[in-house]
Chain A
Amino acid sequence: MTGASGTEGAVARPTRARRQAEPLVPQGPARASAHVCQAAGCLSMGSDTLFAELKERVLASGARDVAVKRVGCLGLCSAGPLVEVPEQGRMFERLDQPGGVPLDELVASLTGGALGGRELGEEPFYSRQVKVVLERSGRVDPEKIEDYVADGGYEALTKAMTTMSPDEVIDEVVKSGLRGRGGAGYPTGLKWRTVAKAAAGPEGKYVVCNADEGDPGAFMDRSVLESCPQQVLEGMAIAAYAVGASRGYVYARAEYPLAVKRLTTAIRQAEREGYLGREVLGTRFDFQVEVRIGAGAFVCGEETALLASIQGGRGTPRPRPPYPATSGLWGCPTLINNVETFANIASLVERSGEAFASIGTERSKGTKVFALTGAVTNTGLIEVPMGLSLREIVFDIGGGLAEGRKFKAVQTGGPSGGCIPEHLLDMTVDYETLSQAGSIMGSGGMIVMDDTSCMVDVARYFMDFCREESCGKCLPCRVGTQEMYLLLNRICSGRAGMVHLARLEELATMVRATSLCGLGQGAPNPVFSTLRYFRDEYMAHIQDQVCPAGVCQIEGVPAVAGTHAGSHGGER
């Protein structure tokens, strides 16, 4: 439909932009293919023009057995634009950038010259990862369903619908031990079973995909949607088949325009190919999916607020029970899962629940996608098996910290999460261990902090976030986050006494116990976890009026120049 360029002739010709986006496909089998990352990170480094340029260069070289295609996220966002040549096991980083790989090196590599780039096998960033959710992300064109299908896409849906009963599908999900990837870790199979057993409402049942990712520093769901939207849709279709739903929504943030665009394209294509919409795969099963775009409220990631927003109301949470599984959209049973949870489903069904459960720990199965950011060398999107240690993630995959910097903490779980200190680096990453350490798995944000971060300032940063994002419905969250922020501000500026610290702890306990939804209940977590592991930093601010990291501006004391690196913003 974008092809109508107004030229003569009955057949609409593709527009220039469209032609430029077309991959270069060789006649016979490809000897080498260049996978050019087209996710937001690399695009911002000009990977779309790079793609066109690379195509030109390969064509000009006369090589006829080289493919050039657009793919989703390749992971190492900090080294973009990225191009992978899977046949050669090579990754070309910072392509055509100052200090990066020159385009000539890639062209030579592709056209039979010397192999360039980096060997993937020996890079811990790539070799230590296990890809289930991101399996197809660097392999298929995010805007072409044919590519997804050619890669084995929609085989799981076909398998489920033709060889399995809805109950059998749910059995597999139960066996897999998959838990919700949105953060809380509720058993996915159990949730599906509850929705399947609930009596259909006046409008039947709904399947909703929560793509309202909002944690600071988290971009897992965005990358999955930008890289392989069909995989999420396939998971939703399998879920709809299993629980008996005929309508679905993807609730995505307005701040993710590229993800929304690719998702919308994917829905249109899947409907055209008969994988979504009316009479899926020629059967009597209908499943219509719509995209709903959020208006920027963090709280809409909370499931009841999300549903209220889909229904056109104000995005505020309501008390549960009733849970959405029994009474969700317009009072109908509604299955809500996160993007990553749905992205796990196709491979789970295709292989088997047991195969899925073979990865991970006793109670946390499968893999987890993390957005690794902060003071590590390799920042980007990673997928690791549950049970890997934090040390392996930060120092092997993440490549450790910059020269001369000292590790201080890893923040996981966003504003409801916590900071894990150095002496716990060998703990495994799974739901239970993280919560014992006073943090949460969360949706997958992982922010590494070095000695230039002040932990009181970090707690203040997250409290500032929560007070901005509190919906204002319940008092403890609406006012409690404001008051905790003021107390933290007081501590940061060296104006606090022990009485203020006591008040902060007391208030944090009260807000956690009395708030209506997860936002308020989780808001005190960054305070608790920094107090648990970094109380000495609080004491330095209170008793000595000193910020050990040199981040906070103590009143009456000039800030130490040049030590503000990595600060989350000083005095406000």
Chain B
Amino acid sequence: MSEVRTLVIDGRDVAANSDQTLLSVARENGIAIPTLCHLEGLTDIGACRLCMVELEGSKKLLPACVTQVQEGMRVVTSSERLLEYRRRVIEMFFLERNHVCAVCVANNSCELQSAARALSLTHFELAPLHPDVAVDATHERFVLDQNRCILCGRCVRVCDEIEGAHVWDIRGRGANARLVSDMGTPWGESTTCTSCGKCVQVCPTGALFEKGRSVAEPKARRPYVPYLVGHHRRA
């Protein structure tokens, strides 16, 4: 049984059901909190730490996506400190793998890119890690490019919780953590993948994408070449 709770977010009085999270109440009231690992309809895991908010009377920051509302909470969602931390989170997402927006299939439809824009992230201070990571193009329709994976786990959860196939998992620890299909077999050899494409749809970046969309794939029209460079004149 959910009951009504009242709380204050960014100075505004808001009402919520007791089973709601801070994130859902905030969004309901038009207060934007950036997220990457959260996706409506999937279990929240509190991993990207973008949605951290301040709670009055507490020194600890709270992840809005997994914090249940409580009566009388006074929450701040965008202090100078929070914005600074969020910029740092986005910066580290970029530096962790090899992101090159200009040649990315997700350019202009990328959640990481738009979060960076929204936070006015203009430059990097920390060092890029430049890991040597793989691209798996063995699937007939889709590609996994680890260079762009931010380990948000949305694909893992959508495949497990919605499609029920549980193809994806994370393997390895820390900087060696990698998205893997079927316990580490190439995606194309997966016996559990239904090729439903849900993972591709929920991927916030260009890590999972459909073939034929990448910037390298459009074909030049070779038959026109002789006309362009004037082969016929020499003949």
Q: Which A residues have a C-beta under 8 Å from some C-beta of B?
A: 297, 299, 314, 318-319, 321, 467-483, 486, 503, 507, 510, 513-516
Give bound CA distance, A513 to B95, whole Å.
20
Question: Which of B54-102 touch A at CB < 8 Å?
Answer: 60-61, 63, 66, 68, 84-85, 88-89, 92-93, 95-96
Give bound CA distance, A299 to B174, whole Å.
11
Return A204 CB to nearest CB of chain B, in Å.
25
Is A482 a contact of B129 with CB atoms below 8 Å?
A: yes
Is A473 a contact of B175 with CB atoms below 8 Å?
A: no
- The verdict on A481 contacting B174 (CB below 8 Å), with A318-B45, A475-B47, A515-B49 known, is yes
Contact of B49 among A314, A467, A507, A514 (CB under 8 A): A514
Known: A319-B45, A472-B173. 8 other contacts (CB 8 A): A314-B169, A467-B175, A473-B45, A475-B92, A476-B49, A477-B174, A482-B174, A483-B127
Is B89 a contact of A314 with CB atoms below 8 Å?
A: no
Return A512 CB to nearest CB of chain B, in Å.
10
Is A516 a contact of B47 with CB atoms below 8 Å?
A: yes
Return A122 CB to nearest CB of chain B, in Å.
49
Is B173 a contact of A470 with CB atoms below 8 Å?
A: yes
- 18 examples of A-B residue contacts, CB within 8 angstroms: A297-B173, A318-B45, A318-B46, A319-B46, A321-B68, A470-B173, A472-B176, A475-B48, A475-B49, A476-B89, A476-B92, A478-B175, A479-B175, A482-B129, A483-B126, A507-B88, A510-B84, A514-B52
Give bound CA distance, A515 to B85, whole Å.
11
Return B184 CB to nearest CB of chain A, in Å.
13
Return A325 CB to nearest CB of chain B, in Å.
17
Contact of A479 among B84, B92, B169 (CB under 8 A): B92
- Which of A299, A467, A513 has the most chain B CB atoms closer than 10 A to its own CB? A513
B217: chain A residues at CB < 8 Å are none
Is B151 a contact of A472 with CB atoms below 8 Å?
A: yes
Contact of A472 among B52, B63, B92, B170 (CB under 8 A): B170
- The verdict on A478 contacting B49 (CB below 8 Å), with A471-B173, A472-B175, A514-B89 known, is no
- Which of B49, B84, B150, B151 has the most chain A CB atoms closer than 10 A to its own CB? B49
Q: Is B125 an interface residue (CB 8 A)?
A: yes
Give bound CA distance, A197 to B211, whole Å.
56
A467: chain B residues at CB < 8 Å are 174-175
- Which of B47, B63, B173 has the most chain A CB atoms closer than 10 A to its own CB? B173
A514: chain B residues at CB < 8 Å are 49, 52, 61, 85, 89
Return A69 CB to nearest CB of chain B, in Å.
43
Return B21 CB to nearest CB of chain A, in Å.
11
A475: chain B residues at CB < 8 Å are 47-49, 89, 92-93, 96, 150-151
Is A503 a contact of B125 with CB atoms below 8 Å?
A: yes
Question: Which of B165-189 touch A at CB < 8 Å?
Answer: 169-170, 172-177
Give B62's nearest chain A residue, CB to CB.
A319
B173: chain A residues at CB < 8 Å are 297, 299, 468-472
Is A510 a contact of B127 with CB atoms below 8 Å?
A: no
Give bound CA distance, A474 to B61, whole Å.
14
Give A515's nearest chain B residue, CB to CB.
B49
Give bound CA distance, A513 to B52, whole Å.
9
**SS class, residues of chain A in contact with chain B:** helix
Question: Which of B140-173 touch A at CB < 8 Å?
Answer: 150-151, 169-170, 172-173
Contact of A486 among B52, B88, B127, B174 (CB under 8 A): B127
A319: chain B residues at CB < 8 Å are 45-46, 63, 66
Give bound CA distance, A514 to B47, whole Å.
10
Is B95 a contact of A479 with CB atoms below 8 Å?
A: yes
Return B231 CB to nearest CB of chain A, in Å.
53
Is A507 a contact of B126 with CB atoms below 8 Å?
A: yes
- The verdict on A474 contacting B47 (CB below 8 Å), with A297-B173, A481-B174 known, is yes
Is A516 a contact of B175 with CB atoms below 8 Å?
A: no
Give B95's nearest chain A residue, CB to CB.
A479
Give bound CA distance, A474 to B173, whole Å.
11
Give bound CA distance, A313 to B99, whole Å.
31
- Which of A476, A479, A486 has the most chain B CB atoms closer than 10 A to its own CB? A479
Give bound CA distance, A475 to B174, whole Å.
9
B48: chain A residues at CB < 8 Å are 474-475
Give bound CA distance, A474 to B174, whole Å.
9
In order of increasing CB-CB distance, the 9 nearest A-B pairs are A472-B177, A470-B174, A479-B92, A319-B46, A319-B66, A514-B49, A483-B126, A479-B96, A472-B174
Per-residue CB proximity of B26-63 to A under 8 Å, as 1/0?
A: 00000000000000000001111100100000001101
Give B176's nearest chain A residue, CB to CB.
A472
B85: chain A residues at CB < 8 Å are 510, 513-514
Is A478 a contact of B61 with CB atoms below 8 Å?
A: no
B93: chain A residues at CB < 8 Å are 475, 479
B49: chain A residues at CB < 8 Å are 474-476, 514-516
Is A468 a contact of B92 with CB atoms below 8 Å?
A: no
Is A482 a contact of B175 with CB atoms below 8 Å?
A: yes
- The verdict on A478 contacting B96 (CB below 8 Å), with A314-B170, A472-B176 known, is yes
B60: chain A residues at CB < 8 Å are 513
Is B61 a contact of A468 with CB atoms below 8 Å?
A: no
B172: chain A residues at CB < 8 Å are 472
Return A306 CB to nearest CB of chain B, in Å.
15
A477: chain B residues at CB < 8 Å are 174
Give bound CA distance, A474 to B37, whole Å.
10
Is A471 a contact of B174 with CB atoms below 8 Å?
A: yes
B95: chain A residues at CB < 8 Å are 479, 483
A470: chain B residues at CB < 8 Å are 173-175
Contact of A513 among B61, B96, B125, B151 (CB under 8 A): B61
Give A316's nearest chain B residue, CB to CB.
B170
Return B102 CB to nearest CB of chain A, in Å.
23
Give bound CA distance, A482 to B97, whole Å.
12
Question: Which of B100-157 touch A at CB < 8 Å?
Answer: 125-127, 129, 150-151
A472: chain B residues at CB < 8 Å are 151, 170, 172-177
B129: chain A residues at CB < 8 Å are 479, 482
A314: chain B residues at CB < 8 Å are 169-170
Question: Which of B2-45 touch A at CB < 8 Å?
Answer: 45
Give bound CA distance, A294 to B31, whole Å.
43
Is A478 a contact of B46 with CB atoms below 8 Å?
A: no
Return B111 CB to nearest CB of chain A, in Å.
14
